[in-house]
């Protein structure tokens, strides 16, 4: 059994192996309710995409502003602001869509340039809202990268692209892999340190994407001290 706090959704998530019962899982979580409460209380505040919110773009804080101009919604960056025109009720979605598009525009050429340095081919490069991995590389050479990397300093996105491209030559994480990733990245150690220190905060911006699950239901234990926030139990297929 694995119990963790999902920083993107303010939830405690319990993962059960196939043979474990829900009753066993709930008892496991019940014994750790003080830990859950402490972890949830320590989470930094969420930052929705609303006017006035400060959102990092390539590591630099930008204020979201609604531009009261007619016409369809347009997003542009000016003077340290992310300015969004169009109807205000669509602002959050437009900011999210724009950030994802910016991530695609920045990350795909970066990854392909690093692949060219190695003389390897890449397949599709997609940008998604991943929560446990900043990137992944399939055996066929398809890369999946987290759009939230556009929020981080450029050296962080550079490292993640270097890391995934290096897997085109070395699948594991042995010494040869780390040497290769370090050669491809501008500052691998600095980027890794930043992700370890600040990476979880990137999940606090905007709305989290729905998570598909094989099994999803709230934990309802009556008088537990951490029941004020919604909880989920996820059963793995393993």
pLDDT at 230 (0 to 100): 32
Nearest to 11 by CA among 215, 235, 229: 229
- Which residues 6+ apart lie within 8 Å of 222 measured at CB? none
Give the confidence band of 43 by pLDDT, cuts at 50, 70, 90: confident
25 and 137 together in one domain = no
Q: Quote the pTM value.
A: 0.77
Give the confidence band of 8 by pLDDT, cuts at 50, 70, 90: low
Mean pLDDT of 191-196: 96
Higher pLDDT, 126 or 203: 126
pLDDT at 122 (0 to 100): 96
For residues 164 and 141, give the distance between their C-alpha atoms in angstroms, rounded to a whole number. 9
For residues 100 and 88, give the distance between their C-alpha atoms in angstroms, rounded to a whole number. 19
Residue 137, pLDDT > 80, answer: yes
36 and 58 together in one domain = no
Residue 229, pLDDT > 60, answer: no
Q: What DSSP character marks residue 47?
A: B
CATH number at residue 97: 3.30.2010.10
For residues 99 and 190, give the distance between their C-alpha atoms in angstroms, rounded to a whole number. 24
111 and 177 together in one domain = yes
84 and 13 together in one domain = no
**Number of independent structural domains in the chain:** 2
| Spatial contact of 5 and 13, defined as CB atoms under 8 Å apart | yes
Give the confidence band of 16 by pLDDT, cuts at 50, 70, 90: confident
Residue 207, pLDDT > 60, answer: yes
Residue 222, pLDDT > 70, answer: no
37 and 106 together in one domain = no
pLDDT at 168 (0 to 100): 96
- In our burial notation (b when 16+ CB lie closer than 10 A, e otherwise), range 19-55 reads eeeeeebbeebeeebeebbebbeebeebeebeeebeb
For residues 80 and 64, give the distance between their C-alpha atoms in angstroms, rounded to a whole number. 9
Q: How many C-beta neighbours within 10 Å does residue 102 have?
A: 18
28 and 137 together in one domain = no
Mean pLDDT of 4-15: 78
For residues 233 and 1, give the distance between their C-alpha atoms in angstroms, rounded to a whole number. 11
Least confident of 77-81, 120-124, 205-209: 205-209
Residue 159, pLDDT > 70, answer: yes
pLDDT by residue (tens digit) across 93-117?
Answer: 999 999 999 999 999 999 999 999 9
189 and 149 together in one domain = yes
Least confident of 13-27, 105-119, 224-238: 224-238
- Which residues 6+ apart lie within 8 Å of 174 measured at CB? none
26 and 128 together in one domain = no
- Residue span of the structural domain in which 227 resides: 2-45+209-235
For residues 77 and 115, give the distance between their C-alpha atoms in angstroms, rounded to a whole number. 30
pLDDT at 170 (0 to 100): 96
22 and 63 together in one domain = no
């Amino acid at each position: 059994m694995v119990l963790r706090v999902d920083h993107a959704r303010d939830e405690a998530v319990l993962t059960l192996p196939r043979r474990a019962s829900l009753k066993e899982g709930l008892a496991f979580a019940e014994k750790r309710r003080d830990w859950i409460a402490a972890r949830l209380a320590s989470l930094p505040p969420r930052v929705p995409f609303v006017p006035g919110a400060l959102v990092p773009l390539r590591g630099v804080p930008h204020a979201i502003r609604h531009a009261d101009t007619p016409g369809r919604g347009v997003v542009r960056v000016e003077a340290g602001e992310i300015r969004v025109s169009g109807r205000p009720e669509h602002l959050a979605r437009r900011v999210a869509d724009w950030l994802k598009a910016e991530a695609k525009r920045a990350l795909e050429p970066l990854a392909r340039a690093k692949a060219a340095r190695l003389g390897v081919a890449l397949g599709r490069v997609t940008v998604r809202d991943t929560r446990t991995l900043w990137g992944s590389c399939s055996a066929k050479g398809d890369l999946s990268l987290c759009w939230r990397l556009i929020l981080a300093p450029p050296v962080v996105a550079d490292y993640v692209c270097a890391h995934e491209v290096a897997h085109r030559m070395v699948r594991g994480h042995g010494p040869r892999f780390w040497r290769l990733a370090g050669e491809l990245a501008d500052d691998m150690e600095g980027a890794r340190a930043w992700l370890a220190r600040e990476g979880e905060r990137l999940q606090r911006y905007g709305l989290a994407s729905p998570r598909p699950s094989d099994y999803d239901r709230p934990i309802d234990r009556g008088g537990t001290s951490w029941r004020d926030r919604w909880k989920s139990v996820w059963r793995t297929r393993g």
